Amino acid sequence: MGKSMNDSRIRKKVEKIARKEGGVGIGVRVEGGIVYLDGKIDSRKDFLSLGSSIGKIKHAGGVVNNLEYPGKKKREKKQGKKEKIGEADVVIVGGGVIGCSIARELSHYDLKIILVGKAEDVATGTTKANNGMVHTGIGEKMGTLKQKLCVEGHQMYDDISKELCIPYKKCGMWIITTGDSLAHYKIPSFLANFIAKRVVPFIILRRGKKLGIPMHLVKREELLRQEPHVTEKALAAVYSPTYGITCPYLFTIALAENAIENGVDIMLNTEVVDIDVKDGSVKSVITTEGVIDTHFVVNAAGLYADEIAEMAGAREYTIHPKKGSTLLFDKEYGNYINHSMSALKFPRTEHYKGGGIMLTVDGNIQWGPTVEEVPDRDDTSVTYEEIERIFQGYSYLTPDFPSKTVIAYFAGLRASTFTEDFFIQPSKKVKGFVHVAGIQSPGLAAAPAVADMVINILKNEGLPMNEKQDFNPCRKKPVVFRELGNEEKKKIMEKNSLYGRIVCRCEQVTEGEIVDAIHAPIPALSMDAIKRRTRAGMGRCQGAFCLPRVARILARETGIPLERVVKNIEDSYLFVGKAKCLLEVGNEN
Amino acid sequence: MKTDVAVIGGGPAGLAAALKASEQAKVMLLERENELGGILPQCIHNGFGNFIFKKMLTGPEYAHHFMGKVEKSDIDVKTETAVLEINEDKTIVATNPSDGILEIKAKAIVLAMGCRERSRAQILIPGTRPAGVYTAGTAQRLINIEGVMPGKRIVILGSGDVGLIMARRFILEGAEVEGVYEIMQKPGGLTRNVVQCLEDYGIPLLLSHTVTNIKGKKRVEAVTVAKVDKSMKPIKGTERVIPCDCLILAVGLIPENELSKQAGVVMDEKTGGPVVDEHMETSVPGIFACGNVVHVHDLVDDVTMVSEIAGEYAAKYATGEIERGKEIKVVVGDNVRYVVPQFLRSIDMDNVTFYFRVKEEDKNVKVIISESMAIFEKKERIVKPPEMVKASVPSELLKGIQNELRIDVRGKYEK
C-alpha cells in the first residue's frame, strides 16, 4: 500500500517535469518506484534532460527511458546458438572490473561459476579507459550507494592489492581552492577568496571526518613548497593522504586470473543474446556460443546492462553513455607533481567531471577526464574539441607543465543511469536476476565492496553458499623486468634468458614477459592484450619500434602467420597480407 | 668489465665512431638489435654514400661496408644488448640474453642511439584507434624486413624523407597511395625525394593540409583531411573524407636521448640532442655524441663524417690526449634555426665543420661566420629548411677567438 502511495507521488512529479520540459503526451508508468517513459520526443537533448530531471526525483528508484527521438539507433540483435555449452550456479555477464571482482569473490564458495564476456579479453570496455584513481569517497554525493561502497572499497585495497600483486600506491591528493573557485558567483573577490580559503576547506574536512577519511588543511605556502609547479592562484588545499592509484586493467586481469585459479570458468568472445525466464525465474543464458543453464544471473554488463536486463524482462533503468577523454604525458615529466591534484570550481562546469592532474602507477601524468553525453555505446573516439577542452581545463593547475609531451589520449564511456547512482539489487520482476548497473566513477575504488554486496544479495536470494577450504587468495606476480634490481635481474635471466632481451625500449619490456603474457591463464592473443599486461607499446614511441617485434613473437608463440596477428578484436588485422601480395596477378586481396 | 671507449648504438654513427676509435683504443660496441646497421638494413632504396663513396648505394650496402670493417677489427661487438643505464662516472649497465646483466666501466662513451619518429599523439590527431596507423619507419620495417604489408590503400601525412620514400615503396608493392598531405607550405623532405618518389610516380602532394580525423573500429576505414590556415589550424568547410585502410605518419624525427639525459648531459632545446663541441664531446667530459642523437641529419654520409670525429676524440680522451682551450660559444644569428657544434673548446683540427639549418628558404645568400667581424663567408645558391647547410672553416681562421662566434645567413651575392 505504502509503495503504491509512493508510486503515485512520483508519477505526479514526473508529469510536472514533463509539462515543464515539453514532454507533453509521453506515457508515464511508475511501478515500485521505477519510472517508465514511453512515446515520442523531439530530440536526444530532450531525451537526456527529461531523463536526468526525472532521475533526480527523490525515491525514484530508476528511470527506464524508452522515449523515441528522430535518429535514435537500434542495435542489431546477434544470433545465439542452441546447443548447451554448460551449466552453472551463477552466470556473471561482463568481464570488466565489476564482473571480475564478483567472480573472484564468488570463487570463495563451492559453486560452479561461469563469467561470460563478449570481448576478446577482460577489461576492454569502461574499465580500460578508467584513469586508475582509487577514490576515497570524499568527492561523492553524501548518502549515495556510490559513496558508501567507495569508502568501503577503498579500505579493502591495501589487502587485495597485496593478495593479487597489483600496483597500488597511496599517492595522496590535493583538493585545491583557487581565486577562481567561486568566479561564477558575482560576489566581491575578497569575499570569494575568503570563502575559498577559509570556508570551503572546512566543509570538506567536516565531510571527511564524517566518513572517516583522513584529511588535513594545508596552507598556500605549504602547498607551493611541496608542489612548486602549482598555480600561484592556489589559495589553500585539503590534503587527502590515502588517495590511491592502481592500474585498472592489471587489477581486472589479476582478479580474473585469481578467479580462474579458484575454479571460475571465464568464457571470452561470448556475447549474451537472450535470457530464458520461466515462471518468473531465470532458467538459462543464451549466448553466441551456446546455452548455459543457470538459476542466477549477475548482470555486470556495464554499458549494455540495460539491454541484458531487457532480455530477462527485468529492465529497471536506462544506460545513457557519457564519454570521458584523457591525455597522457611522457614519463619524463612524471615528477612534475608529487601528488594528484584537483581544483575546486563551483558550480562544476559542464564538461569536466572532477578530474584533474593525476598520477599513474606507471609514472605518467594524465589530464582529465571530461564528460560528454554520446548516443553511441561504442564511441571511444577522441575529438579535437575534447583535446582542446582538456588543455583549456587542466593547464590551469600547473601552468608551466610541458604540455606538448602528450604520448597518448583515449576516451572511455561511463555506464550512467539517470538516477546517477549505482544500481545494485535483485530484480523485482525476475527471480535470480541481480542488477549490478550504473557503475560509473568511483566504480574502480568501489569494486571490492560491490562484490561483497553482490555476495550478500545472492545469499539472501537463496543461493546456497559454502566456503571452500582450499580457496587461494594469492596470485603469483608475473615478472616485471623494469621493477627489478640488478641482482634480481641476473637471477631471473639465469632461469630464462628471454628476460634479458628488451623488446619494448621505451618501457623496458623483455621478450620473456611477452611470452609469459601469451601463455598466461587468460592468454594474451592480441597486441593490445599484450600491451595491457606488459606495457609493450605504451611508452613514448607508442609501439613504433616494438610493434613488428611483438607481432612476430605473438605469431611464433601461437603458430599463426604474422599477417593474421590482430590489434585487438577479431578482424583488426595489423597487416593486409605478405609483401608482394598486392602485386600477384589475380589476387583480390 | 672494462673498456677504453664504449659506443652505444650500432647504426651508421656507432659503426663509424667505433671503427675510428679502434685505431687508437680498445672499443666495445653495444647494439640492442641482433645485427648491426641500425636503420640502414630496412632502407633498401639507393642514395647513400654519394659523398663518401661517390656512388649511390642502398642502405644495406652502405652498412655492409662498415660492418665488414668492424668484423675485421678487434672491436668487441655485443649485439642484442640493451643499455639500461649510463651513470655520470661512465659506468654502463646493459642486458643481453647471453651475459645477463653487464656492468661496463668505460673511460669514454660515445652516444649513437639515433632517433625515433614522432607519433600520432604528438600531433594530436583526433579519432578512433584502429589497426592501420603506422609511422613511416615502422611501415618501412614491416615491408622490407618483416615482409608484411601494412595496408593497400594509403594516406600519408607528412612529407619528410621517410614518408616520401615510403610513398614510392607502397606503389612498388602494388598499393594505392591516395596522396601525401603536408601541414607546412613547403615539403619537409629533400627536393630530390619529392621529385624521385612523388612526381615520377604521379603521387599528389597536398601542401597546407593535415589529417583531422581517423575513422574505423577494427581497421582504418577512412581519414578526414582538411586545408590549414597560416597558423596551421584546419579551415572549416575544407574537410574531405578519404576512404583508406592505412594512415602513414611521417611527421618528423626526434633524437633518442633518454640515456643522454640520464647521463646528465646538457641538451639543446632546438636540436633535441646534447650540446657538443667540435669534437662532438658533450657537457660531460668523456661522453661524446654523434649522428642523429645530436640532431637529425639528411644524409648518412654526414653522419659517418661527424661520427669519425667523435670516435677519434673519444679514443684520445680515453688515452688522455685531449687538451682544451677556452670555451667559445657558437650562437645562431639571422635565418639560422640551430647550429652544431654549439661550442668550440680546442680548435685542434684542420677544419671545423658547422652543420646548421635555416628558418626560411632563401636564394643566393651568404653564410657569414663572425666574431665581432666576419671571419668566414660562403655562398649558397639556395637554402631551405629541410636541407642541412654545412660550412667548413679552416681552424687558422678560428684561432685567437675570444668571444662568442655567430653564424648568419643573409645578404645577397652577385651571381
pLDDT for residue A429 is more than 90: yes
- For A197-216, what is the mean pLDDT? 95
pLDDT for B88 equals: 79
Residue type, B263: A
User: Does the beta carbon of A496 lie under 8 angstroms from any beta carbon of chain B?
Assistant: no
Chain B residues within an 8 Å CB radius of A490: 100-101
pLDDT band at A333 (very low <50, low <70, confident <90, very high): very high
pLDDT for A350 equals: 67
Q: What is the per-residue pLDDT across B157-190, written as a single tens digit (0 to 9) for each? A: 999 999 999 999 999 999 999 999 999 999 999 9
Q: What is the per-residue pLDDT across B388-398, written as a single tens digit (0 to 9) for each? A: 999 999 999 99
Q: Which grid cell sits at B7?
A: 659506443
pLDDT for A2 equals: 44
Q: What is the per-residue pLDDT across B45-104, written as a single tens digit (0 to 9) for each? A: 999 999 999 999 999 999 999 999 999 999 999 999 999 999 878 999 999 999 999 999
Q: How far apart are CA B71 and CA B387, in angstroms?
A: 34
Q: What is the per-residue pLDDT across A84-108, written as a single tens digit (0 to 9) for each? A: 999 999 999 999 999 999 999 999 9
The reply to whether residue B137 touches residue A489, judged by beta carbons under 8 angstroms, is: no
Question: In sequence order, what are the beta bridge partners of B104?
Answer: B92
Q: Chains A and B: how many Cβ contacts under 8 Å? A: 154
The reply to whether residue A567 touches residue B131, judged by beta carbons under 8 angstroms, is: yes
Q: B91-96 and B82-86 as β-strands: parallel, antiparallel, unpaired?
A: antiparallel
The reply to whether residue B218 touches residue A571, judged by beta carbons under 8 angstroms, is: yes
Q: Which grid cell sits at A242?
A: 590515502
Q: Which grid cell sits at A245?
A: 592509484
Beta strands (DSSP E) in B161-239 are 176-182, 205-207, 209-215, 222-227
pLDDT for A589 equals: 44
Q: What is the per-residue pLDDT across A104-118, written as a single tens digit (0 to 9) for each? A: 999 999 999 999 999
Which of A572, A557, A570, A565 minimizes the C-alpha distance to A512? A557
Element (H, E) at A319: strand A319-329
pLDDT for A585 equals: 58
Nearest to B218 among A569, A576, A580 (CB): A569
pLDDT for residue A572 is more than 50: yes
The answer to whether residues B329 and B406 touch, using CB atoms and an 8 Å cutoff, is no
Looking at A108, A135, A154, A184, which residue is catalytic? Answer: A135
pLDDT for residue A519 is more than 70: yes
pLDDT for residue A55 is more than 70: yes
Percent of chain A residues past pLDDT 90, beyond the cut: 91
A135 is catalytic: yes
User: Does the beta carbon of A570 lie under 8 angstroms from any beta carbon of chain B?
Assistant: yes
pLDDT band at A5 (very low <50, low <70, confident <90, very high): low
Share the mean pLDDT of chain B. 96
Burial class (CB within 10 angstroms; exposed 0-12, middle 13-18, buried 19+) of A391? middle
The answer to whether residues B261 and B267 touch, using CB atoms and an 8 Å cutoff, is yes
The reply to whether residue A548 touches residue B120, judged by beta carbons under 8 angstroms, is: no
What pTM does this model have?
0.96
Least confidently predicted of A19-23, A67-71, B283-287: A19-23
Q: How far apart are CA A570 and CA A560, in angstroms?
A: 14
Nearest to A578 among B149, B218, B245 (CB): B149
Chain B residues within an 8 Å CB radius of A548: 138, 141-142, 145-146
**ipTM of this predicted structure:** 0.96
Buried b (16+ CB within 10 A) or exposed e, A404-416: ebbbbbbbbbbbb
The reply to whether residue B138 touches residue A505, judged by beta carbons under 8 angstroms, is: no
- For A216-234, what is the mean pLDDT? 96
Q: How far apart are CA A404 and CA A554, in angstroms?
A: 33
Q: Which residue of B has its CA nearest to A331?
A: B258
Q: What is the per-residue pLDDT across A120-159, written as a single tens digit (0 to 9) for each? A: 999 999 999 999 999 999 999 999 999 999 999 999 999 9
pLDDT band at A527 (very low <50, low <70, confident <90, very high): very high
The answer to whether residues B302 and B16 touch, using CB atoms and an 8 Å cutoff, is no
Chain A residues within an 8 Å CB radius of B173: 579-580, 582-583
pLDDT for A74 equals: 84
pLDDT for A70 equals: 94
pLDDT band at A1 (very low <50, low <70, confident <90, very high): very low
Contacts of A366 (CB under 8 A, 6+ apart): A131, A326, A327, A328, A329, A357, A358, A359, A360
Beta strands (DSSP E) in B200-359 are 205-207, 209-215, 222-227, 240-243, 246-249, 253-255, 287-289, 328-332, 338-340, 343-344, 351-357
pLDDT for residue A306 is more than 80: yes
Question: In sequence order, what are the beta bridge partners of A566?
Answer: A573
Buried b (16+ CB within 10 A) or exposed e, A437-461: bbbbbbbbbbbbbbbbbbbebbeee
Nearest to A579 among B130, B147, B218 (CB): B147
pLDDT for A308 equals: 98
Chain B residues within an 8 Å CB radius of A502: 32, 82, 95
Share the mean pLDDT of chain A. 94
The reply to whether residue A497 touches residue B129, judged by beta carbons under 8 angstroms, is: no
pLDDT band at A490 (very low <50, low <70, confident <90, very high): very high
pLDDT for A75 equals: 80
Q: B176-182 and B205-207 as β-strands: parallel, antiparallel, unpaired?
A: parallel
pLDDT for A4 equals: 60
pLDDT for residue A346 is more than 90: no
Beta strands (DSSP E) in B237-284 are 240-243, 246-249, 253-255
pLDDT for A587 equals: 47
Q: Which grid cell sits at A93?
A: 555477464
Q: What is the DSSP letter of B342?
A: S
pLDDT for B104 equals: 97
